[in-house]
Structure 1
Amino acid sequence: MIGNSELIIVAIVALLLFGPDKLPELARSIGKASGEFKRASREAERELTEEFKETKENLNLKEIETKFVEELKGKKE
């Protein structure tokens, strides 16, 4: 995690590199990119959770199917 001293150093370097006129624009761009990244991360997590849930349900269906077929075979004999 970035501490306060590292954050101050980054701010000073950014001020020297981009100047005071470009810093607000740069901060907005970084904030927007950070928000988009967080949104994409949440969406990916939601999709993966849904896929795992569906896969788990399918595995349970396979297990139920196997037991059902075994029961039917047992009744035929």
Structure 2
Amino acid sequence: MFGLGVGEIVIILFIALIFIGPKKLPELAKGLGKGMREFQNAARGLQEHVTNPVNETKDQITDMVNPAKGGKEETPAPSSKESTESKEK
């Protein structure tokens, strides 16, 4: 986490406990958790805001490159067994 080891995190928490106090520390942690959650939601929303138009453009380009074939599905090529049977008849 942020390039910090377990030892460094323990020291930071211990110093925070000394300066903030044991009564305020849970409130601070709760507020920090809410803030991080809001930040993650905002980042996710921004990512979707950028990704959706890119995906739409990608789909449009794909549709232009591979136009629909009149609504018909392509039939798969016969397997080697089927082609052998048809040659025998």
Do these two structures clear the TM 0.5 threshold for a shared fold by scoring above it?
A: yes
User: Take 1:52 and 1:16, find their aligned partners in 2: how far apart are those partners?
Assistant: 49
Is 1:17 matched with 2:19? yes
Instruction: Give the match's secondary structure for 1:54.
Output: helix
Per-residue deviation, 1:46: 1.0
Q: 1:27-70: per-residue Cα shift (whole Å, max 9, x none)?
A: 00111011111111111111110122234456x3xxx5xxxxxx
Structure showing greater radius of gyration is 2
* Count of residue pairs brought into register by the alignment: 62
Q: Which runs of 5+ in 1 are unaligned?
A: 65-77
Normalised TM-score (structure 1): 0.66
Show the 5 A alignment for 1:36-75. Answer: 36-57=38-59, 60=61
Q: Which runs of 5+ in 2 are unaligned?
A: 65-89
Indicate the residue corresponding to 1:5 in structure 2: 7
Which is bigger in relative contact order (C-alpha 8 A, separation at least 6)?
Answer: 1
User: Take 1:9 and 1:55, find their aligned partners in 2: how far apart are those partners?
Assistant: 50
Normalised TM-score (structure 2): 0.59
User: Take 1:27 and 1:8, find their aligned partners in 2: how far apart are those partners?
Assistant: 15
More helix by share: 1
Instruction: State, as a whole percentage, how many aligned pairs show the same letter.
Output: 40
